[in-house]
Amino acid sequence: MESRISNALHLKHHPIALIWSNQKPEGAMQFKENKWGCVMWLVANAARGGAAVCDRRTVGCFGGGVGVGFDNQYKFFPGGEDCFCHFLSSGNQSWETGRQAAEYAKSFMTKETHDNFVHGERYFKTPELVQKFIDSLPITNIPAEYVVFKPLKDVDPGSESPRTVIFFADPDQLSALVVLANYGRGDNQNVIIPYAAGCQTIGIYPYQEARSPRPRAVVGLTDISARVYIRKQLGDNLLSFAMPFALFEEMEANVKGSFLQRHTWKNLIQDRMQPSVKL
């Protein structure tokens, strides 16, 4: 499946299809069962041209399970959802249940993760605000065993139906994607940037948008932890731009005759050193 958008934007990395499936692609990258990993590594592998897959046992982390649509995995966090609320905010060192959970988790957590478990990632001011954040998430339990990430070019339209299409874009390319998402709408609020984990902005938030008669695109990778993890995979100065497949098709149809074929856009990218991905 080719992409006019990718060609017009001269993307460095392959557009990615997120697919729900009950079959695991042969040779796809997959984390070991119940071992830690970041879902965004799987997405990055697809952006580089490979295939990747996860299920409820190989999703890598609890937040990743939530992000791709495997229901509320936070309740399985060491010490339960309350300990996760402390982990994301002020830390677990200040209450007995948290201290006990931290001692239990020490044997299987990385040093950095355990430090965050004890002292908190500090992404929210209080545990109570984390709980409000969880309650506001569009948590989804998808009706499929696997979530597959693969280059859009490798999708067979006759047998596969992407749920989300994901681009990794630099500031110029992201600007063009925002313009294109609004190009055929007649209004100006067709792209959102929710505060969420990197995986949530390519998974459950686009899933939610897909249920709308006018789905919006979702900008992500504003999760600074995910940015640290993705840097070595894809480089700096990238954000994700994810859209339900229906919006992708709408935007694809709007490339011809749009600003992407006019001089302002061509002048903006004429000195770009990286060629477009060959689809």
Q: How far apart are CA 44 and CA 273, in angstroms?
A: 21
> Can you give the pLDDT at residue 107?
86
Stretch 75-81: mean pLDDT: 95
The mean pLDDT value for 247-263 works out to: 97
pLDDT for residue 194 is more than 60: yes
Q: State residue 273's pLDDT score.
A: 41
279 versus 244: the higher-pLDDT residue is 244
Q: What rounded mean pLDDT belongs to the chain?
A: 94
More confident residue, 273 or 195: 195
User: Mean per-residue pLDDT for 109-134?
Assistant: 95
Task: Look at residue 278 in the predicted model and tell me its pLDDT.
Answer: 53
Has residue 177 got a pLDDT over 90? yes
Q: Residue 253 carries which side chain, given as an amino acid letter?
A: A
Predicted confidence band of residue 34 (pLDDT cuts 50, 70, 90): confident
Kindly give, in sequence order, each residue whose CB lies less than 8 Å from that of residue 107, ignoring residues fewer than 6 positions away. Answer: none
Q: Is 235 left (phi over 0), alpha (psi -120 to 50) or beta?
A: left
**Whole-angstrom Cα distance, residue 249 to residue 23?**
25
What pLDDT, on the 0 to 100 scale, is given for residue 86? 97
Higher pLDDT, 35 or 176: 176
pLDDT of residue 108: 86
Domain boundaries, the chain: 4-63+141-269, 72-136
Q: Is the pLDDT of residue 21 over 70?
A: yes
Mean pLDDT of 12-18: 97
| Cross-strand pairs, 150 | 17
Measured at the alpha carbon of residue 4, what is the angle toward residues 67 and 184, in degrees to the nearest 5? 80
**Is the model's pLDDT at 165 over the cut of 60?**
yes
Q: Which residue shows structure tokens 């789905």?
A: 215
Q: What is the pLDDT of residue 274?
A: 47
DSSP secondary structure, the chain, as one string: ---HHHHHHT-SS--EEEEEESSPPTT-B-PPTT----HHHHHHHHHTT--EEE-TTSSSSHHHHHHHTB--GGGGSTT-HHHHHHHTTT-STTSHHHHHHHHHHTTTS-HHHHHHHHH---SSSSHHHHHHHHHHS---B-SSSEEEEEEGGG--TTT---SEEEEEE-HHHHHHHHHHHHHTTSSS--EE--S--TTTTTTHHHHHHHTSSS--EEEE---HHHHHHHHHHH-SS-EEEEEEHHHHHHHHHTSTTSGGGSHHHHHHHTT--SPPPP-
Take residue 137 and report the two structure tokens written for it.
């998430």
Q: Give me the mean pLDDT over the 74-101 stretch.
A: 95
Compute CA distances 176 → 109, 169, 179, whole Å.
41, 10, 5
Where residue 272 falls among pLDDT bands split at 50, 70, 90? Answer: low
* Per-residue model confidence as pLDDT tens digits over 206-237: 999 999 999 999 999 999 999 999 998 999 99
Whole-angstrom distance, CA of residue 49 vs CA of residue 154:
9
